[in-house]
Chains A and B, each alone.
Chain A
Amino acid sequence: MKKRSGLADYLLIAGTFLLLEIVSIMMISRSGVVQRYKVVGAAKNVQTIFWRSGEKVREFFTLGKENVRLQQENIRLMEELETLKEAADGREIIVSKDAAYTYVPATIIKNSTNKQHNYIVLDRGSRDGIKPGMGVVTGEGVVGVVNSVTPGFSYVISFLNTSQVVSAKLMKNGYFGPMKWEGGATSRAVISEIPLHCDAQPGDTISTSGFSSLYPADIPLGTVVDSKETSGIYKNITVDLFLNFRALKYVYVVVNNNRDELNALEEQYR
């Protein structure tokens, strides 16, 4: 094999290496599904056909589990209805026609859970009124945030992503803090910035705080596993999530009907 020598040759090799690495790092720092879907939109449309077929096969084999989950959700909703009936006994219930949140049901056609930056693809898009920035939930927890939409699909940044944070609270005393997935087990997350004096016992329920325009308050998220002091002022709470991301199929996109008004208000104080 021929030997290489000469300063120009080494400079060319070093220059190529540096240039390509810089380009890679720039892409990583700006990476988002939006750019990718603009670059390879056509290829992605073909891929969604395969994803849909794959999901249908998976669905066939997991129908039993899904039925059990839906039954449990039905029971929970019936119980909730009974509780509301009892609470409303003898009183008039005022149901607002302009509810703060409405929901768009959607089915997952692609879901990754094995990366540090996981994404979900839904079978609903801008045609169904879905916009970037909307939250995605199920009755068992928070799924993620819509990142970009095409007319027929939505690309959601999963909660199982290093960039996702959900404002969570302890239901029994209302203490709240940011909850994040730590990158390990898909069933565990950690709430930070909880004051040391806050009493958090294993088994206590965690829910959304409602302090963001993405998700309504009181969606159950999980239960406390343990808590650990971190900086002398705060402690971290490890949470066992209710939501099984690996078996996720049907979700709801949250439409906050007051979002534009809230954003306009926030803009005034910026």
Chain B
Amino acid sequence: MKRNITRILIYLAVIAVQMVVNDYINPGPFLYICILPMLVVMLPLDQHPAISMAISFAIGLVTDLLTDGVLGLNAGAATLLCAVRLPLFRLVFNADNYDKNEIPSLRLAGWRKFLKYMFPATLVYFAFYVGFDGFVYRSWLFNIARILLCAAVNAAIIALLSNILLGTDNRHSA
């Protein structure tokens, strides 16, 4: 119970941080700092995927509503990431990690393995986000560069943030 409350508080804190980042941090048009993928990969692995997708969609939609972006961009990207996170987890981590229902984090996996998981995850997220944000208006080179830059920078930020927020708590409550 206590662990669930902590997790809900972490979710609310991350959404609040995302709002502040959107309002006051301006790294330019190439880079969108978005830490929402962290919340999606933090969802319990043994939860029914349909429920996880609905939660991811809701997290994305709340962020879209509270920040001045295009409505549906984060919601769609979070849903897509949620759909691919299990196959991705199985590719990078072993069956033991999956059976223990562990949350992937820097402390659990180490830099190399965690980024091997997080970079493709953010890549999927930003492929959707950048794609629908203006693929038809911009050159493909600009969009590819934007997807790669966003994925790399945000994967690194999420790695650091997960290390701070998750601490040693690497297991989802049953």
Contacts and interface: CB of A to CB of B under 8 A. Distances in A.
B75 interface: yes
B60 to A, nearest CB: 8
Given A1-B99, A2-B46, A17-B83, A26 B72 contact: yes
A36 B46 CA distance: 34
B142 A183 contact: yes
B29 interface: yes
Contact of A117 (B48, B50, B134, B142): B134
Interface stretch (A27-35, A71-79, A100-108): A27-35
B23 A16 contact: no
Contact of B70 (A117, A160, A183, A185): A117
Given A25-B132, A27-B75, A28-B70, A12 B50 contact: yes
A203 interface: no
Contacts of A30: 71
Contact of B32 (A114, A162, A246): A114
Interface string B32-55: 100000000000011011100110
Looking at B26, B48, B70, which has the most chain A CB atoms within 10 Å of its CB? B70
A112 B25 CA distance: 9
Contact of B26 (A12, A54, A114, A183): A114
B130 to A, nearest CB: 8
A174 interface: no
Contact of B72 (A25, A119, A246): A25
A51 B24 CA distance: 9
Given A20-B53, A25-B76, A116-B134, A36 B23 contact: no
Interface string B13-27: 000000000111111
Contact of A184 (B27, B30, B50, B83): B30
A115 B28 CA distance: 7
Nearest to A155: B68
B132 A28 contact: yes
B2 to A, nearest CB: 22
Interface residues of A, number: 43
Nearest to A120: B68
B153 interface: no
A150 to B, nearest CB: 15
Nearest to A2: B46
Given A33-B68, A114-B32, A162 B75 contact: no
A17 B66 contact: no
Contact of B57 (A1, A24, A54): A24
Interface of A: 1-2, 4, 12-13, 16-17, 20-21, 23-28, 30-31, 33, 35-36, 39-40, 43, 47, 50-51, 54, 110, 112-117, 119, 160, 162, 182-186, 246
Given A27-B72, A33-B68, 6 more contacts: A21-B79, A21-B80, A27-B75, A110-B68, A162-B137, A162-B138
Interface of B: 22-32, 45-46, 48-50, 53-54, 57, 60, 64-66, 68-73, 75-76, 79-80, 83, 98-99, 101, 132-134, 137-138, 142
22 contacts: A1-B46, A1-B101, A17-B79, A20-B54, A20-B57, A21-B80, A27-B71, A27-B72, A28-B76, A33-B68, A36-B65, A40-B66, A51-B23, A54-B24, A110-B68, A112-B26, A114-B25, A114-B26, A115-B32, A115-B68, A160-B29, A184-B30
Which 8 A-B pairs give the minimum distances between C-beta atoms? A24-B76, A27-B72, A16-B50, A28-B72, A162-B137, A116-B134, A24-B72, A31-B71
